[in-house]
Each structure stands twice: as structure tokens, then as C-alpha cells.
């Protein structure tokens, strides 16, 4: 038992911290710190800065241009990025599709797509959920029928995050409707500029539109865009979801959010004293901090086992549930800390206009939308209820 | 960073686990409690022989451990088996009796039991609330909830030499022998089967005045909080295992009750929170030697979290068992009692939440 990082790990942390201090533009980190929405250009320029340094793809092997860090290094990198309020790297191409292509794609697909993920030429989105397939993902209905050397795709995907920016989408499509639902699914790569695709934004409870509906109307996709074998897509989808669960605990996000709540609650006055001295508020804040201290260690236990080659099982689901509950509690505390100044909806400010004026103190405009937006945490990536079922079944073997 | 036990600690864990499996079945434990004995002297001698007590002391003290992870490994195993033998007093004494090599030797050998007598009727969980007086070489006052006080060969007593009742300064620690003139010990059994005592001191001349300060007392209690937190973790693991088995075996409406999603989701939360409790114990064990503020923040964080998780595990495990979980005959009710009573030692959930807040402000 040793809770200390090794000298190498500490040196790595220092290197990352120094690079972030030198490279991350202040206007970008301020947007992230204040919870404003990032533009496509923001994401792309951060992507380029990381790629230039060789740190864009922490989980990729070196032969493909990745950093090939172990799980502890990736955790350190995440922690430092969150601490510096760096933008979140859009994960769909880098940490979801790429591992699938490396494991199951053809050499041609790897050569064609992986470099374009790194250099930012392609922006990928995820075509998984459908109106009738949420937690029950294997119920996808979007149909792909083989016609000569093409698949013809018809159907609808939904909750497609940042699909409005994407030029490619990886999709789970039904290629055989007559077998057990898991056995008739294929994994297809689709160029979003193909005729017959319509993207429609979904405005959410926070007033933003980060997710979309994507409609497919007789979309012709070259058969060479099939990943792996036809009707084996469910296997690849499950493989992808294990990668989706890396950094699932969100410790870095929660640490940054905790600091923000403390800062706001120390500044705002409630009954003649800083809010942080209100015993009810202080108790809720202390409790979530204590939970976070333990969860950070639970996360490191899993991460450190993963770095030694042990694949996490039910632990990922545990971290997903606990991590999201903590993050949601922190967004709730921030909203309450801001008080009546959380009332106005200030769209111009949220969208990040440099000159946009805001009513109220820092975080006033973003606290309520952020609270609303983060309700998603316990819904996506397998809802927390699905995770609880996984945990108990895995451990009980029932 | 490494979350694996060293080989030495792994061996200690294994041999202690085997010993308890062999000698300390639930039926045996119930038998000891039913007989009216405070603990099984033979088992206690066996624990000493196994080196369990030595593991709680440093090499300079004549032991072979004494670090946070030594304490947590030992007490998790004791908790798993529901051990009521007086091992906890050794942790407290180990942190305070550094200058008394012969006492420490006796504790490691299992012949000496040094019980800590710091609590008072008006003090609740405040260590600094001391009205027992030390004046003109004699002690006067009443100490309550002295763990294994009536079985102790020595009592370590906090008493006030100067200052007001809640001052941190002016408190000194004394060693008193139970046969000294003016000592009265009134024995009682606690809800969890452990033994407590009230100690009445009337013009008692102590055997010695320890060269320890209030800070040493706080540090000793930090060690004890780690011990009971790890013990609660072990008991939670045992309660968890019983509940998992029960969910698989117990059938209602024709199927194992573990097939019901309402129970699966309750169990999932129990499983998640027990991992949280394990992490909290690791955090405290790993920071036991840290500076005072860091250490005490972890003390309060861990005790608060373990108390909350303990209540969840107890309540959910009993609920998922139904009536059988409430019977004295079944082991679960014994773990339920021990886990719950641990919340009442050295500060409960609310005490440590408030303390964590105060310490965070000071940081």
C-alpha cells in the first residue's frame, strides 16, 4: 500500500502542468471555467494544440501516433487538464471509434481514418441511440440493406452529440431483422455529406442544442465502410462501450467543480455572512467533498489495477454511478450558491460572445443551465439504473 | 502508487483470517457473550501468540508494524469475524505508552490490558472536555465508557491540572492501576457485546504521569478511529456477503429474491458504498503519519463516511433479509450491532461532519 505517486509520475504531472500553463489560451480556459459553451473552432484549435504536442490520443499505441500512456498517466493528464480548465476533447473519433478500428477494422480503414482523426480533418459523431433504443441499445431499427457494392440505409438516430459539427458518423444498423436482436446488427461508417441525411438539432432543457436527430432516407453507403463482419456489430459496440467508460468517474471535473462551489459560496453573502458559513450549506458541501475524497481513491484503485493489466468489470459501473451522483450534487450546490442571480436566462453570455454582458456575479448565468445539462450524466453511457443492474448481476452471478 | 498489501501484511491477514475462521465461529462468539464473560481469554492469548498485537506496535516499541496499514489490515479481519476481545485498547495504549517498555511488552504478549479512560458524562465526544482533576498528586472524577475498563490491568486516564473544563491545555494523562486505593470500576455490557465500565476516582494516587500531551491523545484517537473504521469495514463486508448469499438462496413468489430489480438496485448501492468505505479507510491509513491538519481532516472524513455507509449497510442488509435479519441467532444482527455502535465511539457522523468543516476552514 502506497498512496504516493512515483517520481516519474510526479515528473510527468509537472510536465503536463507546465505545458498547459504555456499553451492553453486564457480566453479558452476562462470559457471552460465559467461554464460557457465552446464553439466548433474552440474544440478544433484545442485539438490541434494537443496533436502538435503528441498528447491528443493518450490511449492510442505509438504506431498510430498515440501517446500510449498507462491508466495512471491518463488519470494524471485528465486531472491536470481539468485543473487548468482545458476544454474536454471530443471523444467520439479518438476514444470510441479509433479503438474499434484498431481492433476490428481493415488495414485500409485504419490507414484511411486514423490519421484524419488525429489531424482533425474528420469530426466523428456516434450513431447509436434511436427513439426506440435507449438503454436497450440492441433494439436499434435503422435498416441497412445490401444492394450490390452499397448498403442502403433508412431510419433515424437520436441524441447525437455534436452531430451538427460532424462530417462522419459511426452507426449501429440492422442488417438482419430475422434473428435474435443482438445478432443482426452491423457497424457502419457513414459520410454525413451523403445525400439523404438530415441533421436536426434538439434544443434541451438548458436552452442549448448539443444533441441532434439524424435522419437517413435511402442513404447509399459503400460496402467497404462496413467495420469487421456483417452482423457482428454488437460485439464491436460492446467493445466501444468499455472504452467509453474510461475516465468515467470524472474526478477531475468534480475537483474543479468543488473549487468553484467553494469560491462562489465564500463570496456570496447570506444573512450577513458568507454562504459557506451557513451550516446547512456547509454540511451538504462537506458531505460531497468527503464522498469525492473516497471516490477519488476508489478511482485510483481501479486505475492502478488497470495500469497493471487488470480489466475493470463491475467497478466501472460503480464509478459511473458514484461519479455522476457527485458531479450532479456539485452542480446542484453551485446553482443554489448563486441564489436569485441564477434566475435570468442569458443566452448571449452562454454562447460565449466575448463582449456579452452578464447580470450578476461570475457563474450566475451558467449555474442553472449547467445544473439542467448535467442531468444527462446519470442517463447517458448506460443509465445509472442499468449500471446498478450490471453491478449486482456481475457480483451475484444471478 | 500501489494498492496491494506488502507480503508481510498479506501473510498477517491470511493467518489471522484462518485463525478466526477456525476458532471464532459465530456460534462460539454467541456462546462467549451468553456465558457472561467479557471475552474469550484463550482466543485473546491466541491472537497475541499469532502476533496480532505485535503488529500494532513499531519495531522501536518491540512490535513489527504500527503503521496505518498494519492497523487497518488487523482490524478489518477482526471486524469480519465480530471479535470482541480487547485489541482496540492496545492501539490506544500503543500511541500513548511509548516510554513504558515493560507495559508495551506486556500488551504485545497479551498479559497487560491498558484501557483508555478519557470520556466523561458531560463531554459527549469532546476529548478536551475534562473535569476530572489532578491536583496535589491525586485524581478525582468519573470517567465513562471505558472500553474493557473492568478487565484492564492498567487505566490511562485524562485529568485536568489547570484551566477551564473545555481547554485543550492543562490536560495530562496518568496511569492508574485498578487495585489502587480510591478506584471503583462499575462494569457493563454494550449493545454489541463488548464490555464497558464507569471509572470512579476518589483521591487516587496514579502509578505514573505520562509524558504525553493533548496532541498525543488526539493522535492516539486518530489511530483508534482508523482501527474502528477498518473494523466496521470488515463487519460491512461480512454483512454484505451474508446478504448476497441470502438474495441467491431465499425464494419468494417462486424465484430467488435477488432476481427482483428493486432489491438488485438496493444491493448495488450497498456494493458501491462499501467500496467507498474501503477507500476512506485506505485514505486514513495512508495519512496517519501526515501533518496534524491533513491527518485530522482524513480522520473526520473517514469516520463520517464510514458512519454513513455503515448505517446504510446495516439498514439495507436487515431489510433485504426480512425478519431473519433481526434475530439474535443469525450473525447479521451481530454485525448490525457492532457497525452501529462503532458510530458511537470517538465521534459520530454529525460530530465528524462538523469537525471536517471546522478543519477545512482552518486549512
| Region label for A381, one of left (φ > 0), alpha (ψ between -120 and 50) or beta (otherwise) | left
Residue B215 exposed, middle or buried by CB count within 10 Å (0-12, 13-18, 19+): exposed
CA distance B287 to B69: 10
Q: In this structure, is the dihedral angle defined by the CA atoms of residues A224, A227, A229 and A232, taken in order, positive or negative?
A: negative
| Predicted complex ipTM | 0.95
Q: Residue A121: what pLDDT?
A: 96
Distances in whole angstroms, Cα of residue A149 to Cα of each of A108, A223, B319: 17, 5, 60
Is residue B363 scored above 50 in pLDDT?
no
**C-alpha to C-alpha distances, B333 to B81, B229, B242, B349, nearest whole angstrom:** 13, 19, 11, 21
Q: Above pLDDT 90, what percent of chain A?
A: 85
Q: How many CB atoms lie within 10 A of CB B261?
A: 12
Q: Of A51-55, A241-245, A284-288, B294-298, which gets the smallest average pLDDT?
A: A241-245
- The strand pairing partners of B138, in sequence order, are B135
CA nearest to B286 within chain A: A3
In this complex, how many residue pairs, one in chain A and one in chain B, have their CB atoms less than 8 Å apart? 120
pLDDT of res. B176: 98
Weakest mean pLDDT among A65-74, A199-208, A242-251, B281-290: A242-251
Domains and CATH numbers, chain A: 7-89 (1.10.540.10), 122-230 (2.40.110.10), 245-396 (1.20.140.10)
Contact (Cβ atoms closer than 8 angstroms) between residue B194 and residue B78:
no
- H/E element, B230: helix B214-249
> Could you tell me the pLDDT band of residue A18, with boundaries at 50, 70 and 90?
very high
Domains, chain B, ranges and CATH? 7-109 (1.10.540.10), 114-212 (2.40.110.10), 215-362 (1.20.140.10)
Residues in A closer than 8 angstroms to B285, CB to CB, are 1
Do A72 and B1 count as a contact with CB atoms less than 8 A apart? yes
Q: Determine phi and psi for B15, rounding to 5 degrees.
A: -70, -35
- Contact: A392, B267; criterion CB under 8 Å: yes
DSSP annotation of B2: B
Left (φ > 0), alpha (ψ -120 to 50) or beta: where does A348 sit?
alpha
- pLDDT tens per residue across span B171-196: 999 999 999 999 999 999 999 999 99
Confidence (pLDDT) at A313? 78
**A391–B271 CB contact, under 8 Å:** yes
Residue A244: the pLDDT is 61
Å from A375 to nearest chain B CA? Answer: 19
pLDDT band at A245 (very low <50, low <70, confident <90, very high): low
The predicted model gives B101-129 an average pLDDT of 95
> Could you tell me which chain B residue has the CA closest to the CA of A391?
B268
Q: Give me the pLDDT at residue B301, please.
A: 98
Whether residue A293 is predicted with pLDDT greater than 90 in this model: the reply is yes
A-chain residue closest to B265, CA distance: A388
Total number of residues shown for chain B: 363
**For the residues A66-84, what does the mean pLDDT come to?**
94
Residue in chain A nearest B241 by alpha carbon: A396
pLDDT score of A71 more than 90: no
With beta carbons less than 8 A apart as the criterion, state whether B341 and B189 touch: no
Rounded distance, CA A63 to CA A147, Å?
Answer: 36
Contacts of A304 in chain B (CB under 8 A): 1-3
Average pLDDT over residues A144-168: 97
Least confident of A350-354, B188-192, B195-199, B313-317: A350-354
Query: Is residue A204's pLDDT more than 50?
Result: yes
CB contact under 8 A, A392 and B258: yes
**Nearest in space to A208 (alpha carbons), one of A29, A44, A352:** A352
Local confidence band at A352 (pLDDT 50, 70, 90 cut-offs):
confident
Give residue B362's pLDDT.
53
CB contact under 8 A, B265 and A388: yes
User: Dihedral of the CA atoms A154, A155, A158, A161 (nearest 10)?
Assistant: -10
Q: Tell me the per-residue pLDDT of A306-332, one tens digit each, with 9 for 90 and over.
A: 888 777 778 889 999 999 999 999 999
Q: Is it the case that residue B352 has pLDDT exceeding 90? A: yes
Judged against a pLDDT cut of 50, whether residue A106 lies above it is answered with: yes
What percent of chain A stands above pLDDT 70? Answer: 98
CB contact under 8 A, B276 and A298: yes
Q: Can you give the pLDDT at residue A213?
A: 98
For testing the chain B interface, which of A6, A290, A303 should be mutated: the one with the most B CBs within 10 Å?
A290
Averaged confidence pLDDT in chain A: 94
Question: CB of B272 within 8 Å of any CB in chain A?
Answer: yes
Provide the pairing of β-strand B114-117 with B154-160.
parallel
- pLDDT of A349 higher than 90: no
Instruction: Give dist(CA A370, CA A383) in Å, integer.
Output: 19
- Residue A117: helix, strand or coil by DSSP? helix
- What mean pLDDT do residues B73-102 have? 93
CA-CA distance, B178 to B151, in Å (whole number)? 9
Nearest to A389 among B4, B9, B264 (CB): B264
Catalytic residue IDs of A: 244
Rounded mean pLDDT, A69-87: 94
Q: For the ranges A65-69, A303-307, A309-313, B168-172, which has the lowest average pLDDT?
A: A309-313
Average pLDDT over residues A128-139: 93
Q: What is the pLDDT of residue B197?
A: 98
Distance CA(A165)–CA(B24), nearest Å, equals 65
pLDDT for A376-387, tens place per residue?
Answer: 999 998 899 999
Amino acid at each position: 500500500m502506497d498512496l504516493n505517486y512515483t517520481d516519474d509520475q510526479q515528473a510527468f504531472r509537472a510536465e503536463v502542468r507546465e505545458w498547459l500553463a504555456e499553451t492553453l489560451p486564457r480566453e479558452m480556459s476562462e470559457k471552460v471555467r465559467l461554464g460557457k459553451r465552446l464553439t466548433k473552432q474552440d474544440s478544433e484549435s484545442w485539438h490541434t494544440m494537443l496533436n502538435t504536442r503528441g498528447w491528443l490520443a493518450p490511449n492510442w499505441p505509438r504506431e498510430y501516433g498515440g501517446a500510449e500512456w498507462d491508466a495512471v498517466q491518463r488519470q494524471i493528464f485528465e486531472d491536470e487538464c481539468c485543473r487548468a480548465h482545458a476544454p474536454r476533447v471530443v471523444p467520439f473519433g479518438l476514444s470510441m471509434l479509433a479503438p474499434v478500428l484498431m481492433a476490428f477494422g481493415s488495414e485500409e480503414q485504419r490507414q484511411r481514418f486514423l490519421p484524419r482523426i488525429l489531424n482533425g480533418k474528420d469530426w466523428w459523431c456516434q450513431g447509436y441511440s434511436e427513439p426506440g433504443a435507449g438503454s436497450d441499445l440492441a433494439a436499434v431499427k435503422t435498416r441497412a440493406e445490401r444492394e450490390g457494392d452499397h448498403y442502403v440505409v433508412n431510419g433515424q438516430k437520436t441524441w447525437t452529440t455534436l452531430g451538427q459539427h460532424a462530417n462522419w458518423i459511426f452507426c449501429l444498423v440492422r442488417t438482419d431483422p430475422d434473428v435474435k436482436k443482438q445478432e443482426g446488427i452491423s457497424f457502419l461508417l457513414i459520410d454525413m455529406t451523403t445525400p439523404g441525411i438530415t441533421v436536426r438539432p434538439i434544443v434541451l432543457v438548458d436552452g442549448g442544442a448539443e444533441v441532434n436527430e439524424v435522419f437517413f432516407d435511402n442513404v447509399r453507403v459503400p460496402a467497404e465502410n462496413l467495420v469487421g463482419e456483417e452482423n457482428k456489430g454488437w460485439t464491436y459496440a460492446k467493445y466501444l462501450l468499455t472504452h467509453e467508460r474510461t475516465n468515467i468517474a470524472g474526478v477531475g471535473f468534480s475537483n474543479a467543480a468543488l473549487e468553484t462551489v467553494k469560491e462562489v459560496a465564500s463570496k456570496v453573502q447570506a444573512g450577513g455572512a458568507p454562504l459557506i458559513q451557513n451550516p446547512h450549506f456547509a454540511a451538504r458541501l462537506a458531505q460531497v467533498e468527503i464522498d469525492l475524497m473516497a471516490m477519488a481513491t476508489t478511482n485510483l484503485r481501479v486505475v492502478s489495477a488497470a495500469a497493471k493489466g487488470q480489466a475493470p468489470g463491475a467497478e466501472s459501473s460503480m464509478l459511473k454511478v458514484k461519479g455522476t451522483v457527485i458531479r450532479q450534487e456539485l452542480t446542484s450546490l453551485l446553482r443554489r450558491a448563486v441564489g436569485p442571480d441564477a434566475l435570468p436566462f442569458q443566452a448571449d453570455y452562454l454562447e460565449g460572445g466575448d463582449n456579452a454582458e452578464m447580470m450578476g456575479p461570475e457563474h450566475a448565468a451558467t449555474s442553472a443551465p449547467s445544473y439542467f445539462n448535467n442531468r444527462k450524466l446519470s442517463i447517458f453511457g448506460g443509465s445509472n439504473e442499468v449500471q446498478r443492474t450490471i453491478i449486482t448481476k456481475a457480483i451475484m452471478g444471478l | 502508487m500501489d494498492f496491494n498489501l506488502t507480503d508481510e501484511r498479506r501473510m498477517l491477514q491470511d493467518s489471522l483470517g484462518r485463525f478466526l475462521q477456525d476458532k471464532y465461529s459465530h456460534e462460539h462468539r454467541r456462546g462467549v457473550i451468553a456465558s457472561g464473560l467479557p471475552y474469550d481469554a484463550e482466543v485473546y492469548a491466541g491472537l497475541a501468540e499469532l502476533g496480532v498485537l505485535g503488529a500494532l506496535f513499531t519495531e522501536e516499541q518491540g512490535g513489527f508494524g504500527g503503521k496505518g496499514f498494519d492497523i487497518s489490515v488487523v482490524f478489518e479481519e477482526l471486524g469480519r469475524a465480530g471479535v470482541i476481545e480487547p485489541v482496540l485498547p492496545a492501539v490506544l495504549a500503543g500511541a500513548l505508552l511509548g516510554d513504558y517498555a515493560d507495559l508495551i511488552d506486556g500488551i504485545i504478549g497479551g498479559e497487560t490490558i491498558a484501557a483508555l479512560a478519557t470520556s466523561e458524562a458531560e463531554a459527549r465526544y469532546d476529548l478536551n472536555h475534562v473535569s476530572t482533576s489532578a491536583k496535589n498528586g491525586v485524581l478525582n472524577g468519573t470517567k465513562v465508557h471505558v472500553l474493557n475498563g473492568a478487565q484492564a490491568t492498567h487505566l490511562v486516564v485524562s485529568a485536568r491540572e489547570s484551566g477551564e473544563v473545555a481547554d485543550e491545555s492543562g490536560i495530562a494523562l496518568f496511569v492508574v492501576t485498578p487495585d489502587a486505593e480510591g478506584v471503583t470500576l462499575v462494569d457493563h455490557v454494550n449493545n454489541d457485546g463488548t464490555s464497558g465500565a464507569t471509572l470512579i476516582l476518589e483521591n487516587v494516587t496514579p502509578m505514573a504521569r505520562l509524558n504525553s500531551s493533548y496532541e498525543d491523545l488526539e493522535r492516539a484517537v486518530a489511530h483508534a478511529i482508523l482501527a474502528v473504521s477498518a473494523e466496521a469495514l470488515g463487519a460491512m463486508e461480512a454483512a454484505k456477503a451474508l446478504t448476497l448469499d441470502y438474495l441467491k438462496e431465499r425464494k419468494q413468489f417462486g424465484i430467488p429474491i435477488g432476481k427482483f430489480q428493486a432489491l438488485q438496485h438496493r444491493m448495488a448501492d450497498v456494493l458501491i458504498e462499501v467500496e467507498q468505505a474501503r477507500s476512506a479507510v485506505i485514505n486514513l491509513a495512508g495519512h496517519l503519519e501526515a501533518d496534524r491538519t491533513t491527518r485530522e481532516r482524513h480522520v473526520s472524513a473517514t469516520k463520517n463516511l464510514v458512519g454513513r455507509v455503515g448505517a446504510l449497510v446495516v439498514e439495507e442488509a436487515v431489510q433485504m433479509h426480512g425478519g431473519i435479519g433481526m434475530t439474535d441467532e443469525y450473525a447479521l444482527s451481530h454485525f448490525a450491532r457492532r457497525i452501529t455502535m462503532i458510530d458511537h465511539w470517538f465521534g459520530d457522523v454529525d460530530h465528524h461532519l462538523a469537525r471536517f468543516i471546522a478543519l477545512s476552514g482552518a486549512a
